[in-house]
Chain A
Amino acid sequence: MRVRPLRYWLQLGLTLLVCAFLVVPVFMSILAGVTQNYFIGVKSGLTLRWVGEVWTLYSDTIWRSIYIALATLAVTLALGIPAAYALARAQSRWTRWIEELLTLPIAVPGLATALALILLYGQWRDFRASWLFILVGHVLFTLPFMVRSVLAVMLAVDLRTLEEAAASLGASFRERFLGVILPNVRPGIVAGSLMVVTLSMGEFNMTWMLHTPLTKTLPVGLADSYASMRLEIGSAYTLIFLLMIVPLLVGLQWAAGRVERSRA
């Protein structure tokens, strides 16, 4: 084994420090969520009591976040895939403008978008009070990610040649789109879908403004528990959130790797 220079050890040390900064609080949070009394420490015993209490207090927010995420996914698939197709096929100055426009909701803080929605649509009480109001915000925020993810694969697979081959065999537009294009861009759709669900599950900046006491989502509930509950409950709630979001993240990285390979 060769001798590493001092520089190597300094860099390794810094990297380990950064890693500790990122990871230590996560472990503290997990531990606090299953500890009887965090102030006393682990020696007070481990328990699932706090997780149980979170379930009683907040299970509605968990279910709501799941179905809002799935609804957001359905809408972004329906809007995003055709939009990506349009951008891929008609590459021009116009389509670049459209792409730019659709990206605005992530270039501008969610707080601004949420205020704008409330000021324009807030007086429609039934809409304002329903979960659909949150869905609108989530769709605006996640659509650019779906479009970009699908578009990246569409540009890589040479859509035009595929489509022309199918058309020369007599396939209608509908047949070409469903039978040729969609299967070929599946990696982009999968990556985009995981991205959309992950972002929707964690969205707070807009949702905090858009929610009502009856339409709390998981991150809204988290903020609520951090502010008003004991540390153990906030931690147990965070633990539940981590159990939901980390598998999504792992899947997302796997899918992104597949897209990267399909483009290479």
Chain B
Amino acid sequence: MGPRRHGGDPRRTALLMAAPALAVFAAFWLLPMARLVQVGGSGPDGFAAYFAVVTNANYFRSLVSTVLLSLGVTVATLALSLVSGIFLQRNRFPGRGVLISLMTLPLAFPGVVVGFMVILLAGRQGLVGDVSSRLFDEKIVFAYGMAGLFMGYLYFSIPRVILTVMASVEKLDPALEEVARSLGASTWQVTRDVILPGLGPAIISSGAICFATSMGAFGTAFTLATQINVLPLTIYNEFTNYANFAMAASLSIVLGLITWAALALARSLAGAGVAAAG
């Protein structure tokens, strides 16, 4: 690169151009976060509060159930989206475009709306209860607890993951599959040994996003019931109902570290831009 004659030092220009965004970020995110860390250590237990999520049985139970829920959602979402995504990308049939549009419709729904969808499916006036009471004379209602939350996060994540899967299936080299098939590999072997490894980065990154989102999401749980024992609701209740700011602060720092670490780990494994969805 030769010397630059116009516009001064590009590095200085770049710094100036980035300065407003950095200033806003520092004033409204870094400083508040520093305050949050400080408040987290200001309770009766001091900075030991950061370990309360492990030492206090209630918070620990909340953490474990949130992690298990998020892992379950991630596995189920990946399984369903891989089958549907590969199928939709690899087959052409009438109505395919409409099907894809319909399945991506919920992409723009925030967690609160997803919660309402779960209530319509499995709530007190929901479809599942309606059908089950007609068939077995017993009204099945499971929206307002862990099962409802599981369903909500599945609803939230599936459209995102299907799109990611479809995009990366499109980029796979079909020649590899041809070769495998010509060497006598069965469809199952091709899927296991060629397609799935090729989708590895997409699986890791969308799995991490799904996990982090389920860990930290608040809207769906809030809509279904504020008493479900997941970490975001525990934090919310500590803050608003018990005015226990120190505990709410330390728990949200721990939660933030978990979601950030999950995404960072996935990025280093998959090498793609990975961020939690709102």
Residues of A in contact with B (beta carbons under 8 Å apart): 7-8, 11-12, 14-16, 18-19, 21-26, 28-29, 32, 38-39, 78-80, 82-83, 85-87, 89-90, 95, 98, 101-113, 115-117, 119-121, 136, 139-141, 143-144, 147-148, 163-164, 167-168, 172-173, 176, 198-199, 202-205, 208-209, 219, 222-223, 226-227, 231, 234-235, 238, 241, 245-246, 248-249, 252-253
Contacts and interface: CB of A to CB of B under 8 A. Distances in A.
10 contacts: A11-B86, A14-B87, A22-B106, A32-B120, A89-B14, A109-B217, A115-B235, A173-B8, A234-B116, A249-B105
A205 B219 contact: yes
Contact of B25 (A14, A32, A101): A101
Contacts, number: 262
A21 B24 contact: no
Interface in B155-192: 155, 158-159, 162, 187
Interface of B: 5-8, 10-11, 13-18, 20-22, 24-25, 28-29, 31-33, 35-36, 39, 80-81, 83-84, 86-88, 91, 93, 99, 102-113, 115-121, 125, 127, 154-155, 158-159, 162, 187, 212, 215-219, 222-223, 232, 235-236, 239, 245, 248-249, 252-253, 255-256, 259-260, 263-264, 273, 275-276, 278
Contact of A19 (B86, B102, B120, B256): B102
Among the interface residues A28, A107, A147, A164, which one has the most CB atoms of the partner chain B within 10 A? A107
A226 B35 contact: no
A22 B112 contact: no
Of listed B21, B109, B212, residue having the most chain A CB within 10 A:
B21
B21 A82 contact: yes
A141 B127 contact: no
Contact of A109 (B5, B14, B215): B215
B212 A107 contact: yes
A226 B224 CA distance: 9
Given A15-B99, A90-B14, A108-B259, A115 B36 contact: yes
A101 B110 CA distance: 24
Contacts of B212: 107
Nearest to B88: A15
A76 B102 CA distance: 30
Given A39-B125, A107-B259, A199-B278, A253 B104 contact: yes
A184 B103 CA distance: 33
Contacts of A113: 29, 32-33
A209 B236 CA distance: 9
A21 B255 CA distance: 30
Nearest to B8: A173
A29 B106 CA distance: 13
A187 B227 CA distance: 45
Closest 7 CB pairs of A and B: A109-B216, A116-B32, A86-B18, A202-B110, A90-B14, A108-B256, A167-B6
A121 B32 contact: yes
Contact of A112 (B22, B102, B256, B273): B256
Contacts of A223: 112, 219, 222-223
B272 to A, nearest CB: 12
A116 B158 CA distance: 31
A98 B26 CA distance: 11
A25 B120 contact: yes
A196 to B, nearest CB: 12
A38 to B, nearest CB: 7
A28 B127 contact: yes
Given A173-B7, A226-B116, A111 B83 contact: no
Contacts of A7: 187
B117 A26 contact: yes
Given A202-B108, A222-B113, 12 more contacts: A15-B83, A82-B17, A106-B275, A109-B276, A111-B216, A111-B232, A115-B252, A202-B113, A204-B218, A219-B219, A226-B119, A253-B104
B252 to A, nearest CB: 4
Contacts of A168: 6
A28 to B, nearest CB: 5
A89 B10 CA distance: 7
Contact of A238 (B8, B113, B264, B276): B113
A112 B255 contact: yes
